[in-house]
Amino acid sequence: SAVISQKPSRDICQRGTSLTIQCQVDSQVTMMFWYRQQPGQSLTLIATANQGSEATYESGFVIDKFPISRPNLTFSTLTVSNMSPEDSSIYLCSVLPGGSRNTEAFFGQGTRLTVV
Amino acid sequence: AQSVTQPDIHITVSEGASLELRCNYSYGATPYLFWYVQSPGQGLQLLLKYFSGDTLVQGIKGFEAEFKRSQSSFNLRKPSVHWSDAAEYFCASTGGGNKLTFGTGTQLKVEL
């Protein structure tokens, strides 16, 4: 299993600013992901955070808007840059401790972001 | 590309009644399937998962799900719903990789 600490839990930000969300895991994990959950919507994968290399982004998400760092196997950050009200969402960090597709994915509590 | 469909956006049941939440997947091979629950202000908690073998899987909190290949379905069931089961439920799958694809979710309301 894995325990994930995600910070901040919520924030209200001015448009045009940036927010960095931190994800700390209590054990080393190979696979780490960032998801977005827009109001009333399902979860959409933003990117896979790769340790020691650039993140792999899904269609519709770009590094300039959502830069991701993964300095080691227990920590990652997601930055939401130049925010607009459309970025108001819950952002969730997820890990796959086993690294293979048949293991359980664990999720952080999420960061509820409101852009005003 | 794989996809997951949850046809019911909202479901309301009375406490003590049975529950079935529908989930259909689209994938060429047998995917790995999951049901997660998200309570207000909480992260996602895994209820159960299916990888292979027995098509009826038991999960936590009295939930079970049945994989039906012929119908491409993985419906979640509970014989008797409790008020604390009110939450949003997500069906998810992984296809050929490690990334989860989520359905749109079903919001469950429980009437006392």
pLDDT digits 0-9 by tens, B37-80: 998 877 899 999 998 889 999 999 999 999 999 999 999 999 99
Which residues from chain A sit within 8 angstroms of residue B46, using beta carbons?
104-105
Q: List CB contacts (< 8 A) between B42 and chain A.
A: 109
3-class secondary structure, A16: coil
Q: How confident is the model at residue B97 (pLDDT cuts 50, 70, 90)?
A: low
What pLDDT does A52 receive? 83
* pLDDT for res A45: 94
Backbone angles phi, psi at B30, to 5 degrees: -80, 120
CB contact under 8 A, B49 and A110: no
Residue range B95-104: mean pLDDT, rounded: 81
Helix then strand count (H, E) for chain A reads: 0, 11
Q: A89 in contact with B at a CB cutoff of 8 Å?
A: no
Q: Which of A42, A96, A109 sits opposite B90 (nearest CB)?
A: A42
Indicate the SS3 state at residue B34: strand
The pLDDT, as a whole number, for residue A66 is 98
- Number of DSSP helices (H) and strands (E) in chain B, helices first: 0, 12
CB contact under 8 A, B34 and A105: yes
- A32 near A95, Cβ under 8 Å? yes
CA distance B69 to B30: 8
Query: Is A105's CB within 8 Å of B102's CB?
Result: no
Residue of B nearest to A38 (CA): B104
Residue B77 burial (C-beta neighbours within 10 Å; 0-12, 13-18, 19+): middle
The sign of the torsion formed by the CA atoms of A101, B31, A58, A16 equals negative
Considering only the beta carbons, identify the residue of B43, B49, B90 that sits closest to A108. B43
pLDDT tops 70 at residue A102: no
How much is the pLDDT for B43?
A: 82
Contact A101 B46 (CB under 8 A): no
Our CA-based measurement puts residue B81 at a distance from the nearest CA of chain A, in whole angstroms, of: 23
Q: Is the pLDDT at A73 greater than 70, yes or no? A: yes
Q: Which residue has the tokens 């054990």?
A: A27
3-state secondary structure of A32: strand
Nearest in space to B43 (alpha carbons), one of A116, A32, A100, A35? A35
Count of CB atoms situated within 10 Å of the CB of B76: 24
CA distance B65 to B49: 8
Instruction: Express as a percent the part of chain A with pLDDT over 90.
Output: 78
* B97 or A58: which leads in pLDDT: A58
Tokens of A101: 């597709």
pLDDT score of B40: 81
pLDDT tens string B83-94: 999 999 999 998
Q: How far away is chain A from the Cα of B18, in angstroms, using its nearest Cα?
A: 25
Task: Please say whether the beta carbons of B34 and B49 come within 8 A.
Answer: yes
Q: Name the β-bridge partners of B41.
A: none
Contact call for B32 and A107, based on CB within 8 A: no
Q: Cβ–Cβ of B44/A107 closer than 8 Å? A: yes
